[in-house]
Amino acid sequence: MLRWSLWFAGVTFLAVGGTLAALAQDKKSVWAGVYDAKQAARGAELYTRACAACHGQDLEGIEQAPALAGGTFAQRWDGSALKKLFERIEEMPPDDPNKRLSDQQYIDVLAFLLSANKIPAGTAALDADRNGLAQITFLATKPK
């Protein structure tokens, strides 16, 4: 009975450890090129039309609307999953829910924000899938 318990505990430990290792490997940072340039360009157009009135043409922030590029922005979101940032963007504009965009439009705006924060583009567009976004971490500086 003791052997069986030890064997079962060992197999369980290996299975859980393997699952955790696989989950850790799925995580990546924005520095892996998580959006493409076309998507960021679409996002720039949407930003100008839907966001710039509050956040400024240069993403510098106006009055109570925070800056969306630069040190303060990077520091605020450093270490956060892109899912969290995407969900925050989805809440915009807070004062007029009728002017809200589609998930695809919000994800394009997010791609533009990454571009504006000097995160390099990759070869594939960023997807609005929340599970996928939860696996991507915004890092203010490129890992070594």
How far is 120 from 32, CA to CA, in rounded Å? 8
Domain membership flag for residue 64: yes
- The CATH number assigned to the domain holding 50 equals 1.10.760.10
Total domain count for the chain? 1
pLDDT at 23: 40
Tokens 């720039």 map to which residue? 44
Domain membership flag for residue 95: yes
Cβ atoms of residues 86 and 128 within 8 Å:
yes
The token pair that represents 65 in the structure block: 């609307």
How far is 34 from 27, CA to CA, in rounded Å? 12
Domain membership flag for residue 47: yes
How far is 111 from 103, CA to CA, in rounded Å? 12
Tokens 């052997």 map to which residue? 3
Angle, CA 21 vertex, CA 20 and CA 25 arms, to 5° = 115
Domain membership flag for residue 9: no
Q: Which domain holds residue 133?
A: 27-137
Domain membership flag for residue 12: no
pLDDT at 96: 86
Domain membership flag for residue 3: no
Angle, CA 30 vertex, CA 24 and CA 36 arms, to 5° = 125
pLDDT at 26: 63
Tokens 């993403």 map to which residue? 59
Domain membership flag for residue 105: yes
Low-confidence ranges of the chain (pLDDT < 50): 2, 6-7, 11-25
